[in-house]
């Protein structure tokens, strides 16, 4: 990597570290201070109507402190592994912002979804469909050890762990350093089941039936990764050393084809290391699994091309998730992409290519995939309170797509970049 690329990467990492470290201070200001002022502004007769209010603020303060302890433990351990010693001084880190803190809030909810016992049902509805297909269709456990699985958008890596627990080799891919750093900590630095106490719902004030649901404790992780690896070695007699890996970066930049995709913020066609890595991934994977992932794309065609490029001939693409296109409501979010008519890069809105289910399925078929299994309207939640599901006044229920496709062998009539 060039010096400027290394500096840019460290800026991104220290921004994440600062966001985790400063979370407590921000949360107190965000959740406590405004409510203290609001309470003081009330008439005495109104204060008497909510005698519990100040006690609830103390409970929120306790929840914030527990979240803060967890994130500072993460930073204290991970910082030395992710940045050079010269950057361990927090004064040299990028300054935290509200954008970063919003992502920290998302990590709390993701920890609950992926690594808590309370979310077993939610995981069973989504991960369970995927894992069930693997269990039913790849029963030869010795063969699994020679099969490569790719999971883009792997989040906090629970799905990867569940996959290697079944004896497959699994590589996760994740773009967010927020997710990468916390998943690294959970997988490598936690040795006790339910070791950490967090409060992922304390930021939710609206649509609550009871205050107790807002301040519910969640213990993570519900499974010890080191015990999983030990079980593979000692009981299943599987060499677990190289079963699991993770690559950070843009999915299309790391796994897309070396042609047929335009240069952009998410795909560098001129960077030699990216070119070589993409080349090494051509027809490498037996299975690619996308879970709540494909609707994160600004250009779904690029995702499908990357999946096809990285799959072996007759390889399998398993998908589960909704079509809640992430950039549909983004008014001021742009990327830079190459324009063919002038051979220059220009700003392009991230939104603008939100396909219907009908259109998407037809495009996938046209790009060289054959559907073997297809279900729609599979209902599930995402990031909900598993213990108190149904006990809030509003919660999202997604109607998801589940499919299994095979990558067809190329025909002479195929366009070159769809081969």
311 part of a folded domain: yes
Domain membership of residue 363 as a residue range: 120-407
Whole-model pTM? 0.91
234 part of a folded domain: yes
22 part of a folded domain: no
CATH code of the domain covering residue 217: 3.40.50.150
208 part of a folded domain: yes
Identify whether the C-beta of residue 64 lies closer than 8 Å to the C-beta of residue 28. Answer: yes
Give the C-alpha separation, 200 to 104, whole Å: 10
Give the C-alpha separation, 293 to 322, whole Å: 9
Identify whether the C-beta of residue 268 lies closer than 8 Å to the C-beta of residue 320. Answer: no
193 part of a folded domain: yes
User: What is the domain count for the chain?
Assistant: 1
pLDDT in tens, the chain (419 residues): 677 778 889 999 999 999 999 999 999 999 999 999 999 999 999 999 999 999 999 999 999 999 999 999 999 999 999 999 989 999 999 999 999 999 999 999 999 999 999 999 999 999 999 999 999 999 998 899 899 999 999 999 999 999 999 999 999 999 999 999 999 999 999 889 999 999 999 999 988 888 999 999 999 999 998 888 888 878 777 776 678 999 999 999 999 999 888 887 788 888 888 999 999 999 999 999 999 999 999 899 999 999 999 999 999 999 999 999 877 776 665 565 565 655 566 677 777 789 999 999 999 999 999 999 999 999 999 988 766 666 677 778 999 999 999 999 876 555 555 44
334 part of a folded domain: yes
Tokens of 140: 């030869």
8 part of a folded domain: no
Give the C-alpha separation, 308 to 255, whole Å: 9
Q: Which residue has the tokens 């072996």?
A: 312
154 part of a folded domain: yes
Identify whether the C-beta of residue 21 lies closer than 8 Å to the C-beta of residue 71. Answer: yes
Give the C-alpha separation, 336 to 330, whole Å: 15
């Amino acid at each position: 990597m060039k010096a400027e690329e290394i500096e840019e990467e460290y800026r991104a990492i220290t921004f994440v570290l600062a966001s985790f470290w400063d979370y407590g201070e921000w949360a107190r200001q965000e959740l406590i201070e405004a409510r203290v002022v609001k309470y003081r502004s009330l008439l005495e007769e109104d204060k008497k109507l909510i005698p519990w209010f100040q006690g609830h603020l103390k409970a929120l303060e306790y929840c914030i402190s527990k979240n803060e302890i967890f994130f500072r433990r993460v930073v204290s351990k991970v910082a030395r592994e992710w940045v050079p010693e010269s950057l361990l001084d927090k004064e040299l880190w990028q300054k935290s912002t509200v954008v970063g803190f919003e992502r920290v809030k998302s990590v709390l909810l993701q920890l609950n979804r992926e690594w808590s016992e309370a979310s077993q049902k939610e995981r069973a509805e989504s991960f369970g469909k995927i894992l069930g297909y693997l269990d039913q269709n790849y029963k030869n456990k010795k063969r699994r050890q020679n099969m490569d699985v790719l999971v883009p958008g792997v989040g906090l890596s629970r799905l990867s762990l569940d996959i290697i627990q079944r004896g497959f080799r699994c590589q996760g891919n994740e773009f967010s350093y927020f997710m990468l750093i916390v998943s690294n900590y959970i997988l490598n630095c936690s040795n006790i089941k339910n070791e950490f106490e967090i409060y992922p719902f304390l930021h939710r004030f609206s649509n609550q039936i009871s205050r107790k649901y807002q301040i519910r404790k969640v213990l993570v992780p519900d499974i010890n990764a080191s015990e999983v690896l030990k079980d593979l070695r000692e009981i299943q007699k599987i060499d677990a050393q190289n079963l699991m890996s993770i690559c950070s970066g843009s999915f299309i930049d790391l796994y897309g084809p070396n042609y047929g995709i335009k240069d952009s913020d998410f795909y560098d066609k001129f960077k030699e290391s990216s070119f070589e890595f993409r080349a090494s991934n051509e027809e490498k994977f037996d299975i690619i699994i996308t879970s709540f992932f494909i609707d994160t794309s600004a250009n779904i065609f690029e995702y499908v091309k990357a999946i096809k490029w990285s799959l072996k001939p007759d390889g399998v693409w398993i998908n589960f998730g909704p079509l809640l296109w992430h950039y549909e409501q983004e008014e001021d979010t742009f990327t830079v992409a190459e324009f063919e008519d002038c051979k220059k890069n220009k700003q392009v809105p991230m939104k603008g290519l939100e396909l219907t289910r009908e259109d998407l399925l037809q495009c996938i078929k046209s790009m060289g995939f054959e559907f073997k299994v297809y279900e729609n309207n599979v209902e599930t939640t995402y990031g909900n309170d598993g213990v108190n599901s149904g006990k809030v006044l509003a919660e999202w229920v997604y109607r998801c797509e589940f499919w299994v496709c095979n990558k067809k062998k190329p025909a002479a009539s195929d366009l070159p970049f769809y081969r």
